[in-house]
Every structure is written in C-alpha cells, then in structure tokens.
Amino acid sequence: MTIAIDPIITILPPLAVIPFIVFFGERRKNLREASIIIAACILFAVNFSLYQQFLDGALLQSQKFTFFNGLTLFLKGEPIGIIFGLLASFLWIVTTVYSIGYMRGHNEAHQTRFYICFAIAIACVMAAAYSGNLLTLFVAYEAITLSTYPLVTHSGNAKAKRAGRIYIGVLMGGSIFLLMPAIIVTWWLTGTTDFIAGGVFNSISISPLLVTLLLCLMVFGTGKAALMPFHSWLPNAMVAPTPVSALLHAVAVVKTGVFLIIKIVVYIFGFDLIAQTNAAEILLYFAAGTILLSSFIALKKDNLKARLAYSTIGQLAYIVLAALIANVRAIEGAALHIVSHAFGKITLFFCAGAIMVASHKTLVSELAGLGRKMPYTFTAFLIAAISIIGLPPLIGVLSKFVIIEGIIDSQYDWLIIVLILSSLLNIAYLLPIPFMAFFKEPQSIEAADSTSQSVIEEAPTACLIAICITTAGCLILFFQIEPIVHLLSLIETTSTTGVGG
C-alpha cells in the first residue's frame, strides 16, 4: 500500500512565519530574520522529504476542494514540480541570508512588508509547484502576481510605480485575457482541467487549428515566461530590490511561468497531439526569435541589472523552446535548465546586488577596476557567467546539452544553430563584465575622485555567504546531477495508470 501525503504542508511554513515577522517587526530585526531562515529551512526539509517519499512510491496528493460547478482545486506532486519546489525552497534560504545583508546594507524602508510579501510569494510558488490541475496552477499564478506587486513597487517612487503598472498590466492582463479563456475552453471541451499524463484531449477530436490557438493563448498568456512580445515587464521589474530580482525575477516567478508551459505541454496537450498537429511550430519561431533578440538587446544594455534581465528573457526562451519541442529528452532538458539557470542567474543577481551595496554602481561601464576591490564577488560572477554560457565543468553545460539532444530527436534541426549562436552572444555580453572589472584600469576621472573609490570594500558578509553557496551549487550540481536526472526519468508522458515511483 502506498503512503499518501498531502503536499499542502509545503505551503504552510512560509505562511506560518508571517505572524512571526509581524510580531517581531522592525524592532527585533535579528529575531525576525532568524524566524524566516528557520521557516525556509523547514520548507526545504519538507520538500526534501516529499522528494524522498515520492521516490519510495508515496502518493503526494491533497484532498480535492470543489470550487464550483465541478471545478476542483487540489495539489499533487510530480517530478517536475518536486524539482521546482526543492529549487525554490533551497534558494529561499540562500536569498534570505543574502537579503539580510542587502536590505540592511541598503537601509531599505518597509522591510517587514518586504519579508511578508516575500513569504506569501514563496507560499504561492509552492502551491504552483505542487498544483494538481491547471486551475490550481492558474490561481497560484495570479496569487504570485499580486503578492509580488508590492515588491516591485517597493521603493514607491515614480519609476517603481510605472514598473508596477506594467508588471500588473502585462502579467495579469495576459493571464486574464489569454490564459483564462484558454483554460475555460479546455474545460468546456474536455470537462476537466486536471493534469493527465498524455494530455486531456485524447478522448475528443479537436481540430489542429484549435490546438494551435489554445497553445498560443496559453504560452503567450503566461506572461511570466517572458516570451517576446510579452517580456517588457521583466526589465521594468528590475527596479525592485535585488533579492526580489534574484529570487523572484530570476527564479521563482519567471520559472513559474515556464513551469506552467512545461506542465501544459506534458499534461494538457501531450506530446502526441503537439506532434500530430504541429501546433508548436509557430511558437518555436517566437522562442528562437526571443533567444536571439534578447541577447542582442542585452549586449546594448549598460545597466547591469537590465542586462541580466534580458539575459533571463533569453534563457527562459530556451526553456520554452525546449518544452515546445515536446519530446521526452527536450522536456528533461527544459527541467534541467530551470535548475541550472536558477543557480547561475541568482548568483549573477546576487553579485549585481553586492556591487550595488558596496559601491552604489549600477552601470556596466562603471565597473572597471572594481574586481580587485571585490575579488570574491567578481570571481563568483565569472563562474556563474560561464555556467550560463554553458561551459564545463558547470551545470549550465548539462542542460544545454540535453536540450540539444532533444532538438536532434525532433524535426527542428535548425534550432541547434540558434542555440550555438546564442551561446556566442552570451559570451559577448556576460564575460566582458568580470574581465573589465579585473583587468581594465579605472577611468582617469573616477580615479581622481579617489574618495569614492577608496571607500569601496567587499560586499557584506551575509551577501558573500549567499553568493558562495549558489556558486558552489553551480559546480557541485555538475557532478551530482544524477538524482535530478533520475527523478526526471519518472515523468509520465503517456497515459498510463498509477502515480510515479
């Protein structure tokens, strides 16, 4: 007999910590942040035990909650979700450590509100990771948008408010205008929104045009996946504090978007349907275009965080592309890339934030010579950049490799060229940053302004610890990728009975 575990326990720790945050408030900062770290550790432990139970064959499913008219909300664990849950909860610990250093170093206001919204967002991400049907995922998706909105507008100035407007407008507008009707149509056609291995459209005949339309609605409606032309919110959202950009806009939020796309490809449409109807082809062009275009734009961006944001858009498009190729190998690649990009990009953002805290510099062109003052930060930056580019011995290479394998299995061989080209572009926009910091002399004017230069020191310790952890993650996962690959092999892609394990 299999053991049944309710994945709702993953939502509880982040929510449970909120009263503590409110209680401790601004007065007892240390206790407040300690409670968050404890909650984050508990959350990771819970996720990890769920993972082990899943391997042992337990059924991770919650009670079905009837919403209305037969629509249900429930949670159910499956391999991609578990990986996503593990990843987000682990990085929450690290980010919390980092944000202690960052928020204090920056003297940000409203820190309590910041931590509360952060915790709510994490709870929603957990709900998304373990969502059992499309409706649950949609609800969680909307909740993430709403709970991260105050984080984007955190500073409260005109720029932040404008960014907030774009953020809500694109994400919520897209999801209500495109995603929701697609879900309603799916439900109307099939009477279910459940994630079923092999897709839900098997039982009915459906025209290829409608499949293409639905897929487009869903993929574009998932604004969080930042597929062009629905990407503009992401660079704008960079006005948020760096921990937010790091965890939410490089990992949790955007990954929820691509996670949703992977889920619908695998469990709503199914590989067969997409292959038969060729529904994804037009979207592949969009994804490929996004990869290249965003890299070109990133080259042009002088603001460090903006450059990283465009890089994120490109990397997300990799995942979308891999998901839309819709074969087993590519999906594995997509899931792996979620992990590898998460570690790489969060490190880069951490470094960007550390540079901001230590030197108050936000432009790439200002970084010349900073490498000697902040050696750890820039070393980490270099390593993470190499991982993103996809060179061994870092995790980035694995995911790109698997995606390419997936492409070879498919009929879209030309995509390989896109990937290679994009890797070159990655080199072009990422590597100059650490090189400049290390090898280029500071410009003469700034050198004369020695007072500001001399003050610059290495980033706060808390920030450095976080950076080291994620950098180490990039390295270690390259050698320890086996558990993830094993878990991914458990994804059910054809309609068979039973649960994983």
In the complex, which residues of this chain contact other proteins (CB under 8 A)?
Answer: 66-69, 71, 138-139, 142-143, 146, 150, 153, 156, 160-161, 164-165, 168-169, 172-173, 176-177, 180-181, 184-185, 187-188
Residue 145 near residue 230, CB atoms below 8 Å: no
**Distance between CA atoms of 169 and 423, rounded to whole angstroms?**
32
Token pair listed for 1: 């007999």
Q: How long a stretch of residues is the chain?
A: 501
Nearer to other proteins, 167 or 259 (CB): 167
For residue 38, the tally of other CB atoms under 10 A from its CB is 15
DSSP 266: I
Q: How far is the CB of 178 from other proteins (least distance, A)?
A: 8
**Distance between CA atoms of 137 and 130, rounded to whole angstroms?**
8
Q: How far is the CB of 162 from other proteins (least distance, A)?
A: 10
Nearer to other proteins, 13 or 164 (CB): 164
Nearer to other proteins, 70 or 208 (CB): 70
Nearer to other proteins, 51 or 233 (CB): 233
Nearer to other proteins, 153 or 245 (CB): 153
Q: How far is the CB of 181 from other proteins (least distance, A)?
A: 6
**How far is the CA of 474 from the CAs of 287, 429, 439, in angstroms?**
25, 20, 24
Q: How far is the CB of 69 from other proteins (least distance, A)?
A: 5
Sign of the torsion formed by the C-alpha atoms of 183, 187, 188 and 190: positive
**Distance between CA atoms of 381 and 367, rounded to whole angstroms?**
13
Q: How far is the CB of 22 from other proteins (least distance, A)?
A: 12
Which residues, including other chains, have CB under 8 Å from residue 234's CB and lie 6 or more apart? 226, 249, 254, 309, 312, 313
**Distance between CA atoms of 466 and 29, rounded to whole angstroms?**
19
Nearer to other proteins, 169 or 375 (CB): 169
Q: How far is the CB of 285 from other proteins (least distance, A)?
A: 24
**Distance between CA atoms of 226 and 282, rounded to whole angstroms?**
16
**Distance between CA atoms of 463 and 65, rounded to whole angstroms?**
41
Which residues, including other chains, have CB under 8 Å from residue 163's CB and lie 6 or more apart? 152, 153, 233, 236, 237, 238, 239, 240
Nearer to other proteins, 54 or 195 (CB): 195
- CA angle (112, 118, 124) in 5-degree steps: 140
Nearer to other proteins, 176 or 417 (CB): 176
Q: How far is the CB of 194 from other proteins (least distance, A)?
A: 17
**Distance between CA atoms of 404 and 420, rounded to whole angstroms?**
10
Which uninterrupted H or E stretch holds 188?
helix 180-190
Nearer to other proteins, 142 or 272 (CB): 142
Nearer to other proteins, 259 or 378 (CB): 259
Nearer to other proteins, 189 or 391 (CB): 189
Q: How far is the CB of 52 from other proteins (least distance, A)?
A: 32
Q: How far is the CB of 147 from other proteins (least distance, A)?
A: 12
Q: How far is the CB of 113 from other proteins (least distance, A)?
A: 10
According to DSSP H, which parts of 130-179 are helical?
134-152, 158-174
Provide the residue type at 329 as one letter. R
Q: How far is the CB of 380 from other proteins (least distance, A)?
A: 34
**Distance between CA atoms of 314 and 228, rounded to whole angstroms?**
9
For residue 321, the tally of other CB atoms under 10 A from its CB is 30
